[in-house]
């Protein structure tokens, strides 16, 4: 693809994603508010520029990879000091936001983009920094069909599995639903292992049964919270992430806000959100989210 791309937000995820586009021959202009992120991106071959406006003024696709919805809105609309990306980009630019944000924020951002004469897609990812570096991210895309078709070649460079989930906001919806399953299932698996310990059942025996039975799930067979049965899981390296507790807490908070907005009678999702908020407020923020088993174990000793 010879689409001209502006990439804003060159952090843990955005940096390697932009680098993969450059490596595939896509012309990319990059910008980040943090100088260190710019330096790292420059070292990876991204052509960095000194302002958001310089990045987008000739862009066909503007990719953003920011921490939260607040950053997306602010970057799109700007402030008194500087115009936003929507005003600085040429008419008809496609705005592709890959950040994980509230469904309603994503839909608001898309409306703002369309109102300014542009096109919009949300495409949050899973796969973490490892997937961003390897170009194997999973993208969940919310966009009109023609916008999806336009950005697909870029997503195929940065990702492995790409699913068009529906209109604007549906990428975020899919991501939030998936991660609510993940948060709840990790707690269930962790509670089961601690119960097994108390009952005198070995980790291996429980794993050998549950991994081949109806308890089977990703939290058990890929990200197993005890060392041993799955040698590559974070539990084997003192819970180095992986998927950090702070990010799980963030995603579950987004799920809770969607549950509240829709009035779904959910019990497990909000409870998982509360437990991960507590985990992330302690030393769990930077540990893999499967480290919550240690909290459950510690609380079981009282």
- Please name which of 9, 13, 18, 67 lies closest in space to residue 47, comparing C-alpha atoms: 18
* Of 8-16, 19-27, 107-115, 190-198: span binding ligand NAD (CB under 6 A): 8-16
User: Long-range contacts made by residues 104-107, C-beta under 8 angstroms, separation at least 24?
Assistant: 104/169, 104/257, 104/261, 105/69, 105/70, 105/72, 105/73, 106/69, 106/72, 106/142, 106/168, 106/169, 106/171, 106/172, 107/168, 107/169
Classify 44 as helix, strand or coil: coil
Name the minimum Å distance from CB 247 to ligand NAD. Answer: 5
Q: Does 38 bind ligand NAD (CB under 6 A)?
A: no
Burial class (CB in 10 A: 0-12, 13-18, 19+), 296: middle
Three-state DSSP class for 229?
Answer: coil
> d(Cα 165, Cα 114) in Å, to the nearest integer?
19
The separation between CA 153 and the C-alpha centre of its own chain, rounded to angstroms, equals 20
- Distance of alpha carbon 217 from its chain centroid, rounded? 20
d(CA 175, CA 221): 21
Decide: is 287 part of the binding site for ligand NAD (CB under 6 A): no
Contacting ligand NAD within 69-88 (CB under 6 A): 71, 75
Distance CA 116, CA 222 (A): 44
6 lies in the binding site for ligand NAD (CB under 6 A): no
Residue 241: CB minimum distance to ligand NAD, A: 7
Is position 281 an interface residue for ligand NAD (rule: CB under 6 A)? no
The window from 65-73, 142-150, 161-169, 183-191 that contacts ligand NAD (CB under 6 A) reads: 65-73
Q: Which of 247, 249, 275, 292 binds ligand NAD (CB under 6 A)?
A: 247
Q: Does 153 bind ligand NAD (CB under 6 A)?
A: no
Using rule CB under 6 A, residue 34 touches ligand NAD: yes
Nearest Cα neighbor of 124 from 164, 173, 166, 172 is: 172
Q: Which range of residues in 40-48, 67-75, 109-117, 228-236 is near ligand NAD by CB under 6 A?
A: 67-75
Q: 3-class DSSP state for residue 138?
A: strand
| Nearest distance from C-beta of residue 302 to ligand NAD, angstroms | 33
User: How far apart are CB 116 and ligand NAD at their closest, in Å?
Assistant: 17
Q: Segment contacting ligand NAD (CB under 6 A): 112-120, 124-132, 185-193, 267-275?
A: 124-132
22 vs 65 by CB, closer to ligand NAD: 65
Please say if 175 is a catalytic residue.
yes
* Of positions 66, 139, 239, 279, contacts ligand NAD by CB under 6 A: 66
Residue 5: φ, ψ to 5°: -115, 135
The pair of structure tokens assigned to 28 is 């990319």
Q: In sequence order, what E strands does 80-231 have?
A: 94-97, 119-122, 125-126, 137-142, 159-166
Please, which residue, 182 or 210, has the CB nearer to ligand NAD?
A: 182
Residue sitting closest to ligand NAD (CB):
11
**Minimum CB distance to ligand NAD, residue 37 (Å):** 4
Among 3, 49, 114, 129, interactor with ligand NAD by CB under 6 A? 129
* Min separation Cβ 33 and ligand NAD, Å: 4
Q: Give the footprint of ligand NAD on this chain (CB under 6 A).
A: 8-14, 31-34, 37, 52, 65-67, 71, 75, 99-100, 125-126, 128-129, 247, 250
Looking at the annotation, which residues are catalytic?
175
């Amino acid at each position: 693809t010879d689409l001209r791309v502006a990439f804003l937000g060159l952090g843990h995820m955005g940096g390697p994603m932009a680098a993969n586009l450059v490596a595939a021959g896509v012309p990319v202009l990059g910008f980040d508010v943090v100088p260190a992120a710019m330096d790292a991106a420059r070292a990876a071959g991204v052509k960095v520029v000194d302002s958001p406006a310089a990045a987008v003024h000739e862009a066909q696709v503007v990719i953003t990879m920011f921490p939260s919805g607040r950053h997306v809105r602010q970057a799109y609309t700007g402030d008194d000091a500087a115009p936003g990306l929507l005003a600085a980009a040429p008419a008809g630019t496609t705005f592709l936001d890959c950040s994980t944000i509230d469904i309603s924020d994503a839909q608001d951002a898309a409306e703002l983009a369309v109102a300014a004469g542009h096109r919009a897609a949300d495409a949050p990812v899973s796969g973490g920094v490892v997937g961003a570096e390897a170009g194997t991210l999973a993208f969940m895309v919310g966009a009109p069909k023609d916008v999806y078709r336009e950005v697909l070649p870029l997503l195929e460079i940065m990702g492995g599995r790409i699913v068009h989930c529906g209109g604007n906001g549906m990428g975020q919806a899919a991501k939030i639903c998936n991660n609510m399953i993940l948060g709840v299932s990790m707690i269930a698996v962790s509670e089961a292992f601690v119960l097994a310990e108390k009952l005198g059942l070995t980790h291996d025996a429980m794993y050998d049964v549950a991994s081949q039975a109806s308890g089977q799930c990703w939290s058990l067979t890929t990200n197993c919270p005890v060392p041993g049965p799955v040698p590559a899981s974070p539990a084997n390296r003192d819970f180095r992430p992986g998927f950090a507790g702070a990010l799980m807490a963030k995603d579950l908070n987004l799920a809770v806000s969607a549950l509240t907005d829709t009035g779904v009678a959910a019990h497990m999702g909000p409870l998982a959100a509360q437990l991960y908020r507590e985990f992330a407020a302690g030393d769990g923020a930077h540990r893999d989210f499967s480290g919550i088993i240690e909290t459950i174990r510690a609380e079981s000793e009282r």
